[in-house]
Structure 1
Amino acid sequence: MPIIQVHNASPSSKEKKRELLAGLTATYAQVMGIRPDTIRVVLHEVPRENWSVGGITLADSGQNESV
């Protein structure tokens, strides 16, 4: 049972999350030649103030790191 973990700077809409999770599952299943129902995906949403690039938080930098 494959497990895919994604770390994403929040926030993301419910629709975008659904699209991302379905797309990751479908792509992995196709590439690996396995059934989609065997794949698990975990989406970790990290607050923008807890994610930094070059020592500057995304909240402070204004960078868009969300889905």
Structure 2
Amino acid sequence: MPTYHIEMMEGRTVEQKKKLVEEITRVSVEVLGGTPEMVDILITDVKRENWATGGKLWLERTS
């Protein structure tokens, strides 16, 4: 079964992460079969100072 690696900017609540992993697990089992216990999900929170898009750190963005 799959192992998902999710990188996202910090700031999501534990409840948001809980809902995310529940839904990813549900869809994985629905599409791929198996059981929820076979789905691994690793979440990495990245600080805005360590993420850049278009040559600019997200820390420097106003929106």
Same fold (TM > 0.5): yes
Bigger Rg, which one: 2
What residue ranges of structure 1 are gaps of 5+ in the alignment?
A: none
Note the C-alpha offset of 1:57: 1.2
CA 1:37/1:7 → structure 2, altered by over 3 Å: closer, same or farther?
A: same
CA distance in 1, matches of 2:17, 2:23: 10
Structure 1: which 4+ aligned runs deviate by more than 2 Å? none
Cα root mean square deviation, aligned = 1.2
Matched residue of 1:5: which SS?
strand
* TM-score, length basis structure 2: 0.88
Matched residue of 1:12: which SS?
coil
Match status 1:14 vs 2:19: no
Aligned pairs, number = 63
Give the equivalent residue in structure 2 for 1:32.
Answer: 32
Note the C-alpha offset of 1:16: 0.4
Matched residue of 2:29: which SS?
helix
* TM-score, length basis structure 1: 0.84
CA distance in 2, matches of 1:26, 1:62: 36
Identity of aligned residues (%): 25
CA 1:10/1:52 → structure 2, altered by over 3 Å: closer, same or farther?
A: same
What residue ranges of structure 2 are gaps of 5+ in the alignment?
A: none
Match status 1:57 vs 2:40: no
Matched residue of 1:44: which SS?
strand
